[in-house]
Amino acid sequence: MPKEVQPTLEEIEISRIRVPRAPQVLGVVEQMVGGDKMRVKCDDGHERICRIPGKLRKRVWINVGDLVLIEPWIVQTNERGDVAFRYTSTQANWLKRKGFVKSIQIE
């Protein structure tokens, strides 16, 4: 009888990874501004003030240097946005290797 192989934690993290869709863009947190807002350097060349929506505010802790998925606002598209997801370091390295992260530097 063949032995069943269990996936590692790293493989599980990568299998659930969220890649950016049409209006979404990747970014790196540069500075915490205060409250639930932060300054994010985005992959499309813009620097946005992004807020953490209520559904993520208490569940996800975001620090300077983290890779995040940003949903730009419909109004003030190049200046404002919402944080949709925070990537772990394993997921960020995988996105970098696969070419999703182009112009920004991940620590």
Contact 61/27 with Cβ under 8 angstroms?
Answer: no
Contact 14/90 with Cβ under 8 angstroms?
Answer: yes
**Tens-digit pLDDT profile for residues 84-105:** 999 988 888 888 888 888 877 7
Residue 47 confidence (pLDDT): 93
pTM of the model: 0.82
**Tens-digit pLDDT profile for residues 49-82:** 999 988 888 888 888 999 999 999 999 888 999 9
Residue 1 confidence (pLDDT): 57
- DSSP H helices in the chain: 9-15, 54-57, 89-98
Name the pairing type of β-strands 47-51 and 67-72: unpaired
